[in-house]
Amino acid sequence: MSRIAAKFAALRAEGRRAFVSYVMAGDPDYATSLDLVRGLPGAGVDIVELGVPFTDPMADGPTIQQAGQRALAQGMTLDRTLDMVRAFREGDDTTPIVMMGYYNPIYSRGVAAFLKDAKAAGVDGLIVVDLPPEEDDELCLPALASGIDFIRLATPTTDDARLPRVLQNTSGFVYYVSITGITGAAAPEAADVAPEVARIKAATDLPVIVGFGIRTPDSARAIAAIADGCVVGSAIVAELASGKSVADVLAFTADLARGAHSA
């Protein structure tokens, strides 16, 4: 059983929703970022999404774009992101790690080499936002063959005709983007999101996790209650960008996790 499947099985057994956090690898520097990632499970994070910095992050809002720019300025690369996963795995062999980013760095490195190294490093899943299902041969199917989940995003514009194609080779979980737009945009309303989550769950047995725009424990609780869990990214990244210490950012994250887990 994969780490992602095992995590969701354990959460179901406990009657809890998942809390997923996103942080940008290398922001504001490698050492601080690694300290933060290492502390996330203790703050209640069930699955870590680790952003790979990229020069043209078209799906990201200003907060995460700026985090990526800070990381790139510090020399963060795809290889160093894999180094961070390896370092994390030295002390934690159970928390799932999902790498989230764009295809260009993977393509430039070579898909086969990347997947081999990602698997060896301890990566459990990939979210690659600029590869549609029509390009599954590029990375999705090779990733699945290597034992790495390929997690697809569904959005408010994914209609009933499109949804089966989106779900076809998705594994691990489905990431539902609760609003139309970029990361860090307006807060989602649970009443609006619930019917969409139900529609997706009727079409798949995979867990459905909702992200984009969640900033408070109350919002995390409300969204997690109508799904299998929630994702918070921009709000955590913004705390770090404001100059807060790693301990303060982890305390903020723990409050969000308690909100999600109380759903």
Catalytic residues: 49, 60
Residue 31, strand partner residues: none
In degrees to the nearest 10, what's the CA dihedral of 175, 158, 165, 2?
A: 10
The helix or strand, by DSSP H or E, that contains position 64, with its residue range, turns out to be helix 62-73
Strand order in the sheet with 208-211: 149-150, 125-128, 97-101, 47-51, 18-24, 229-232, 208-211, 174-177, 153-154
Closest CA to 239 of 63, 70, 50: 63
First to last CA, the chain: 26
